[in-house]
Structure 1
């Protein structure tokens, strides 16, 4: 059965961020604290994956270290069960839902939203930028909640992570396998745009990676 995933980065005023913090921050901490989470992160850091077009060749060979590394990366970058509760409205979130209580309150260009069928946008993004850049991003695997002060403080690191020379940009684009519709914002562009916009507007940011169906 296929899945549809969404990765969003949205801008909000600080009072909204403060109200959301008791709900979202413990879920992000739980994702980071999963028994194998750090192990998967460190494996990807030590063993960045090769060109994604070669990924499926090792499957079927039980002694393939590359297949194990790929499986570990897939587990790392899939939407986790904890933050997922914010979308599903499951306990401990109860009747609180990401769709109706967060996304539905966003206007215009105050959100970067990447939705893809049978793909995780966060997975393609991480592979395209690599672990040395990904480690500069706050939060855990695309999930974060930042006040306006924290957004301003983290902008230089995010600019280092997502600022590319022409050659670096071409390499990253080559490893981003997502299909984009006309006018759709790339995962290589949307997050940095949101950081800069939030700094300019004096707002906080909320990032979540979930499975929507």
Structure 2
């Protein structure tokens, strides 16, 4: 049975970011602190994956080392059990839900970047497309973050370095982003930087979450 996942980046006032902080920040820290999390991250940095079209080779032709590296990357970029609680409403102290208490409060499409994917994780394609050196410039952990307006402004230069491309670099990144986009759907290569710039200009904070919807 497949899954449907979502990666969201939403803009909020600092007061709301403050209400999220005691709930979300410990969960992000728990994701980062998982026993194999740093090991998987460092492996990806040491061994960036090749063209995604080479990942699925005929049976018997796959190199074991490549298969292990791919499996490690898939685990790294999948939704973790801790932040998932924010969507499922399973936060230990209350029934706070990412769906009803964060996403449903967003007023307009300009205040959120949301990529919903069937049988895939948007963050996985995004990370592969930009590579580990650029991904290392992004705050938080594997698409999950919570930033005040001051932190948004402070991190904007690094995010711009991560997501600003020459025409040749952009073409290469697009070639390694395997997601299919419908009419008007925002690319993972565009949405995050748009949200950062807009939030910095508006004096707002940001909440990022990568989760399994169902």
TM-score (norm 1): 0.97
Any idea what the Cα deviations from partners look like across 1:21-58, whole Å, max 9, x if unmatched? Answer: 00000000000000000000000000000000000117
Is residue 25 from structure 1 mapped to residue 42 from structure 2 by the alignment?
A: no
Distance 2:194 2:62 in 1: 43
> How many aligned positions are there?
213
Q: Which runs of 5+ in 1 are unaligned?
A: none
Equivalent in the alignment of 1:186: 187
Equivalent in the alignment of 1:73: 73
Equivalent in the alignment of 2:84: 84
8 A Cα contact 1:198 1:204, kept in partner: yes
**SS class of match (2:9):** strand
Pairs within 5 Å for 1:1-213 = 1-57=1-57, 60=60, 64-92=64-92, 94-108=94-108, 109-213=110-214
Displacement of 1:90 after TM fit?
1.2
**SS class of match (2:116):** strand
| Runs ≥4 residues deviating over 4 A | 58-63
**SS class of match (1:16):** helix
8 A Cα contact 1:145 1:206, kept in partner: yes
Distance 1:47 1:105 in 2: 40
Distance 2:60 2:93 in 1: 40
Displacement of 1:91 after TM fit?
3.8
8 A Cα contact 1:7 1:122, kept in partner: yes
**SS class of match (1:28):** helix
CA distance 1:75–1:14, change in 2 (3 Å)? same
Any idea what the Cα deviations from partners look like across 1:72-122, whole Å, max 9, x if unmatched? Answer: 000000000000001001141531110000000001110000001001000
Any idea what the Cα deviations from partners look like across 1:123-163, whole Å, max 9, x if unmatched? Answer: 00000000000000000000000000000000000000000
Displacement of 1:61 after TM fit?
6.0
TM-score (norm 2): 0.97
- Aligned-pair Cα RMSD in Å: 1.2
